[in-house]
Amino acid sequence: MTERPYPAPPAMSDDERIARARAACERLASRRTCRAFVDRPVPREVIEHAIAAAGTAPSGANHQPWHFAAVSSPEAKRAIRLAAEEEERAFYAERASEEWLAALAPLGTDHDKPFLEIAPWLIVCFAQRKGGIEEDGEASNYYVTESVGLACGMLLATLHEAGLATLTHTPSPMGFLREICGRPSHEKPLMIVVAGHPAPDATVPEHALRKKSLETIASWI
Ligand code: IYR
């Protein structure tokens, strides 16, 4: 094993640390899931930086078990929309339990997914069940869902920082994304991150603004 010194963090006082933590929290807390986009383009370079940021996430054995297919072609976006809406139609009409539908009611979602065609970018996030750091297609990967979840969080945070609206979309089931994006069978699509500019009349359901308090989500032991 060869090692290098840990990179020195920037020097700052504890007061500065608190202020920066508060500022970072405020920035991230201002992100809202957006379900209505406009077709205004977003430069590919923004998406490249966001994916590169996601690629720095910690992962099991540093195997980086992710692949991000950045989709902007109208044909591919249309194919994704049509396939997703077909699955979603079945989901809302028959597959989802009554309890699940009741939980979704305050969000107002349905099978109609126009944003999949309107937004300039769909980033399809794949989890690699195997492949290792060399992507040899053989070596085991570890903590795959956790690792890709972390990478997706960093992807969302970077897109937000770049002033874009985002939506995590999880059509169910989503095997069709593998075919459309030309990905191998050991990769499992986890989510689509939709990125673009919000429609001027985009709204946010009140339900989405109900965040649990720090007292509820944290304990100090
Ligand atoms: N995939 C469906 C349903 C859906 C499920 C959950 I859990 C959500 O938080 C939102 C939607 C859809 O995208 O409509």
Q: Write the CA distances from 108 to 1, 103, 113, 204, integer angstroms.
A: 53, 10, 12, 10
174 occurs within a structural domain: yes
What mean pLDDT value characterizes the chain? 97
CATH number, domain with residue 128: 3.40.109.10
22 occurs within a structural domain: no
Instruction: Name the pTM for this structure.
Output: 0.96
Distance 122 CA to ligand 1 centre (A): 16
The residue segments making up the domain with residue 149 are 36-105+112-200
- The predicted pLDDT at position 137 comes to 83
- State if residue 87 touches ligand 1 by the CB under 6 angstroms criterion: no
Asked if the model's pLDDT at residue 213 lies above 90, the reply is yes
129 occurs within a structural domain: yes
- The predicted pLDDT at position 219 comes to 98
Nearest atom in ligand 1 to the alpha carbon of residue 103 is 7
As a whole number of angstroms, the distance between CA 17 and CA 122 comes to 35
69 occurs within a structural domain: yes
Question: Could you tell which of 170, 192, 210 is best to mutate to test the pocket of ligand 1, judged by most ligand atoms within 8 Å of the CB?
Answer: 170
- State if residue 104 touches ligand 1 by the CB under 6 angstroms criterion: yes
58 occurs within a structural domain: yes
Confidence of residue 172 (pLDDT cuts 50, 70, 90): confident
Question: Into how many domains does the chain fold?
Answer: 1
> How much of the chain, in percent, has pLDDT values that exceed 90?
98
165 occurs within a structural domain: yes
Q: Write the CA distances from 165 to 21, 117, 169, integer angstroms.
A: 22, 15, 13
15 occurs within a structural domain: no
90 occurs within a structural domain: yes
What lies within 8 Å, CB to CB, of 86 at 6+ separation is none
